[in-house]
Amino acid sequence: MSDIVRESVAGRVALLEMRRPPNNFFDEVLLTELADALLALDDEKDVTSVVLCAQGKHFCAGADLRGVGESGIRRIYRQAFRLFSGRKPVVAAVQGGAIGGGLGLAMSADFRIAAPGARLTANFARLGFHQGFALSVTLPRTVGPQRAQELLYTGRSVDGQEAVAMGLCDAVADDPREAAIEFATRIAAAAPLSVPSIRATLRRSLVSEVSAALDCEAAAQAALLETADFAEGIAASIEKRPPHFVGS
């Protein structure tokens, strides 16, 4: 069975739901299925906008990198890039955590609706790792370079309210899925030929920057995979304690 379920909702809106609850960790298989489903919507004339959501406690708690080296990371990011290349606007509904690569996945969407208690974090530095999923591009584009630096250097979390205040999310709602559907329905009420054309113009430079960023991020992440600090960061996260990094 696929981990991605596609449903139709009223008003030219398609819903893509990830189903790996409770955490919805992604790997190459999940991103491939998601990219396939998203790009298939480009050929559906009765779909103008898309809602990206997830089943379970968290929107996406990050990547499953067990046994993955540099070549595996690059394969994952080839699929991640495909998510930026679709033609239809995407609204992400974020409940629970959008953590690390999960935040990167949310940032591939045009808009994000978060629950008040959502937890959005680029926690890579707290794991002894380097950011990925094109956050090097999408985060500063969205919240500005200074705020992006702060979030990446500290790895701190922000909730739904703060995410809206800094521009990381577009709205906060107790039911982010329903709010995302309402948002996507407003987009879908516009001319179905105009919206993808406008989107392609607005995102033209983003797509090329994402491609270059994913290549650099994959190399930087691969260089840190075997370090003692990365092992300590993962162990500390699992054990729910502060990490003790040694710089090696």
- 216-225 pLDDT, tens digit per residue, is 999 999 999 9
Kindly report, residue by residue over 117-143, the tens digit of the pLDDT. Answer: 999 999 999 999 999 999 999 999 999
* Angle made by CA atoms 15, 199, 39, in degrees to the nearest 5: 45
List, in sequence order, every residue forming a beta bridge with 51; answer none if it has no partner.
Answer: 15, 91
Tokens of 23: 């955490």
> What does the pLDDT read at residue 10?
80
Kindly report, residue by residue over 87-96, the tens digit of the pLDDT. Answer: 999 999 999 9
> How is the beta sheet containing 49-54 ordered, strand by strand?
4-9, 13-18, 49-54, 90-94, 111-114, 171-172
Report d(CA 142, CA 82) in Å as an integer.
Answer: 20
Kindly report, residue by residue over 194-212, the tens digit of the pLDDT. Answer: 999 999 999 999 999 999 9
Given the structure tokens 């995979």, which residue do they identify?
A: 225
Q: Is 52 helix (H, G, I), strand (E, B) or coil?
A: strand
- What burial letters (b/e) apply to 131-147, b meaning 16+ CB within 10 Å? bbbbbbbbbbbbbeeeb
Kindly report, residue by residue over 23-80, the tens digit of the pLDDT. Answer: 999 999 999 999 999 999 999 999 999 999 999 999 999 998 888 888 999 999 999 9
